[in-house]
Amino acid sequence: MDWDIVIGIETHIQLKTKSKQFSGASTAYGNEPNSQACLVSLAYPGLLPVLNHESVNCAIKLGLAINAKIARRSIFARKNYFYPDLPKGYQISQMELPIVGPGYLSINANEKKKDVRILRAHLEEDAGKSSHGVSQGKTGIDLNRAGTPLLEIVTEPDMNSAEEAVAYAKKLHELVQWIGICDGNMQEGSFRCDVNVSVKKKGTEVLGTRREIKNLNSFKFIKQAVDYEVNWQIETLEDGGKIDQATILFNPETGETKAMRSKEEANDYRYFPDPDLLPLLVTEEQIDEIKKLMPKLPDEMQESFKKELGLSEYDASEIASDSEVTKYFLALVDSKVNPKLSANWILGNLYSRLNEEEININQSPIDSQRLAELIKRIEDSTISNNAAKKVFDFIWDKSSITVDQAIDELGLKQISDSGEIDILVDQVLKNNQLMVEEYRSGKDKAFNALVGQVMKASKGKANPSQVSELLKQKISK
Amino acid sequence: MTIRKKDIEKIAHLARINISQEESQKLENKLVGIMSLIDKMQTVDTANIEPMSHALDISQPLRKDEVTESDLRKNILPLAPETEEYLFIVPQVIE
C-alpha cells in the first residue's frame, strides 16, 4: 500500500538578546549554575515581568522575513504545568493573538520549490535545566536558562518527506541567523525542532494520528528520526495496529524513536491570559523602523546575484544559502574581481579545502582579500587557472607570504613574452608535421593536441589563448 | 455546564492542591454556583465585541535589553533545603 507522509515542525529559537525575556538577568551560555538566576527567574512572589523590547523587535524581524502578518495587538498567556525547572508553575507564552501571524517560507527539496506555510510565531520563555542523577536519586536545577527569550515558529503540516523537513529546518536556521535574531548554535540549544509526523493512505484527505518527536537539535537527527518514525508508523498500520498520539524522543545512539512515559493529564495546560502582562501593542511606525534595518533576504540576494552579477541559478543559491559565504563573496566582488570567477573559486577550491579541514568560511586562512589578489593574477594572465590552484594550496597555511611571492617562488608566471612563445611554437610545429597535416585536412582535434604540446614545452607557463592564436596564424600561413 | 466531584479532583491534582472530602463538597457547591453565573453570562451576544484580555486598556511597557541583575547566589542558595555545586537539589524527576 502507498502512504502519504505529513510533517509539521515547531521550532524554538533562542533570541539573540543580552538579557532575559522578562527580567534584566544575563542570558549568557555556560556560566556557573544559578549565577544568572535573578528573583524573577526564581519566581519570587510579588515580582512583575517586564517584556524585553529587543525580543519584540526580533519577532517583528522574523515576521517581515516570512511575509507574515504582524499583530498590532498581541497578548501573553500562562501555560500551567509543574516541573522543578519551572519555579513559577507556568511558562509565559502566547496562545490567542500571537505576535506573528500566518506567513510562509520557500524551500527547495528534491529539486522542487515549495512554499511551507507558517501558521504563527509567538514569544515565550525558556525553562531552567535539570541534571538528573547528580547524586543517587537527586536532580540538580540550574535556573540560568530560565526566562531566556524564545520565539516558537509553527508550520502548517505542509512537508511530505524527511528531505523537505530538513530543507525547511535548514532554510529557517539560515534565515534567523541572516536577520540576526538567533546565533543558530544547535549544540547549545539555540535552535531546536519538534517534528510532528503522521501518515495516511495515499490520496485520502483525513490526516492520520500524529506523534511529536521532541527536541531535535541537528539536521542529521531530523532526517534519521523522521525516516525511522515513518517506517514505524507504516509498519504498525499495515500490521493492523493503531497509532496513539504521543510525545516521543529520538535516541541518536540507536537511531530509534520511542514514546515518553505518557504523563497523566498531559497537555492540560489550562492556558489563560497572564494578568501580570498588559496587551502588547505594535505600531506601524515601529514596524517601518525595523523594515529599514532589515538586510536583503537570502532569496532576494540570490535573485540579484543572478540578475546583476550573472551567476548561474546553482551558484547563486549556493552562495546565498549562507550569510558568511555571501559576505566573503561580496568582498571579492567589491575588490573588482569577476563575480563568476569568484563564485567558482569559493564553491570549488575554497569549499573543498574548508570541508577537508572541517572549518567555516570565516575561519578560512585565506581571507577574501587574499583570494581576490590570487584571482586577479588569473584575470591579468600572470598565471593560468591551474597554476592558481597550486598557488592556492601553497599559500593556504603560509599567511606571511604574498600571492606574488608565491607565484615567483613556485615559478608559475605565465610566459607572455611573444618572442619566447614564438620559439616554442616553431619547435612544436617542426616536430609534429603529421599533426599539422591532420589539422589542415579537417581534424580539429589535432589542433588541441598541438596547443597541448606547446603548453607542455612551456611547462604549463604559456598563456593558452596566446598559444592558440599564434598557432593559428602560423599554420594558416 | 456543571461541575462534578471528579472535575474538582482533577483540577486540584493539576494545581497540586490537597483537598479533603469535606472541602471538596464545599467547593463543589460554590463552583456549581459560579458555573451557573458563567452560563448566564454566556447568553449575552458578544459577536461584535472585541475580547478583553486585561482590565487595563493600555499598552505594555517595554524594558531596554540591558543586563541589570547580578549574581545572587550568596543570598539565595542558603534558602534552599539542599544545594550541591551551586545547583538546587530536588528529588529525582525522571521523564
Q: Are B65 and A18 in contact (CB under 8 A)?
A: yes
Tally of CA atoms within 13 A in the half-sphere of A463 that contains its CB: 20
Nearest Cα neighbor of A184 from A290, A29, A295 is A29
CB atoms near residue A440 (< 10 Å): 12
- Minimal-distance CA residue of chain B relative to A130: B93
Q: How far is residue A448's CA from residue A438's CA, in Å, rounded to a whole number?
A: 12
pLDDT of residue B76 exceeding 50: yes
Identify all chain A residues contacting B18, using CB atoms and an 8 Å cutoff. Answer: none
Cell numbers found for residue A42 = 526564581
Shortest Cα distance, chain A CAs vs residue B6, angstroms: 13
Residue with the larger pLDDT of the pair A297 and A416: A297
**Which of B16, B66, B89 is opposite residue A19, by nearest beta carbon?**
B66
pLDDT of residue A312 exceeding 90: yes
Residue-wise pLDDT tens digits, B3-57 = 888 889 888 888 888 999 899 999 999 999 999 999 999 999 999 988 888 888 7
Shortest Cα distance, chain B CAs vs residue A155, angstroms: 26
Q: Residue A75, SS3?
A: coil
pLDDT for the residue numbered A411: 77
Mean pLDDT value of segment B83-94: 91
Going by pLDDT thresholds of 50, 70 and 90, the confidence category of residue A265 is: very low
B81 contacts chain A (CB < 8 A)? no
Tally of CA atoms within 13 A in the half-sphere of A311 that contains its CB: 29
Q: How many domains does chain B have?
A: 1
A54 contacts chain B (CB < 8 A)? yes
ipTM of the modeled complex: 0.89
Q: How far is residue A348's CA from residue A325's CA, in Å, rounded to a whole number?
A: 13
| CATH number of the A418-476 domain | 1.10.10.410
pLDDT of residue A300 exceeding 80: yes
Across the interface, whether the CB atoms of B62 and A34 are under 8 A apart is answered: no
Residue-wise pLDDT tens digits, A323-344 = 889 999 999 999 999 999 999 9
pLDDT of residue A266 exceeding 60: no
Q: Where are the beta strands (DSSP E) in A202-349?
A: 211-216, 246-251, 256-259, 272-273, 280-281
B84 contacts chain A (CB < 8 A)? yes
- Identify the top-confidence range among A190-199, A389-398, B84-93: A190-199
Residue B93 falls inside a structural domain: no
Residue B83 falls inside a structural domain: no
Shortest Cα distance, chain B CAs vs residue A136, angstroms: 8
CATH for B18? 1.10.20
H or E element in which residue A5 lies: strand A3-14
Going by pLDDT thresholds of 50, 70 and 90, the confidence category of residue B90 is: very high
Q: How far is residue A60's CA from residue A148's CA, in Å, rounded to a whole number?
A: 18
Across the interface, whether the CB atoms of B84 and A135 are under 8 A apart is answered: yes
A423 contacts chain B (CB < 8 A)? no
Identify all chain B residues contacting A140, using CB atoms and an 8 Å cutoff. Answer: 84-85, 87-89
pLDDT of residue B84 exceeding 80: yes
Distances from the Cα of A175 to the Cα of A130, A271, A469, B35, angstroms: 30, 31, 49, 48
Q: Are A429 and A475 in contact (CB under 8 A)?
A: yes
Residue B37 falls inside a structural domain: yes
Range(s) of chain A covered by CATH 1.10.10.410: 418-476
**Which of A25, A82, A275 is opposite residue B69, by nearest beta carbon?**
A25
CB atoms near residue A5 (< 10 Å): 21
pLDDT for the residue numbered A402: 87
pLDDT for the residue numbered A181: 97
Q: How far is residue A294's CA from residue A297's CA, in Å, rounded to a whole number?
A: 8
Across the interface, whether the CB atoms of B63 and A137 are under 8 A apart is answered: no
Phi, psi of A420 (to 5 degrees): -65, -45
Share of chain A above pLDDT 70, in %: 98
Mean pLDDT value of segment A99-128: 94
Residue B94 falls inside a structural domain: no
Across the interface, whether the CB atoms of A134 and B87 are under 8 A apart is answered: yes
pLDDT for the residue numbered A383: 84
Domain assignment of residue B17, given as a range: 5-41
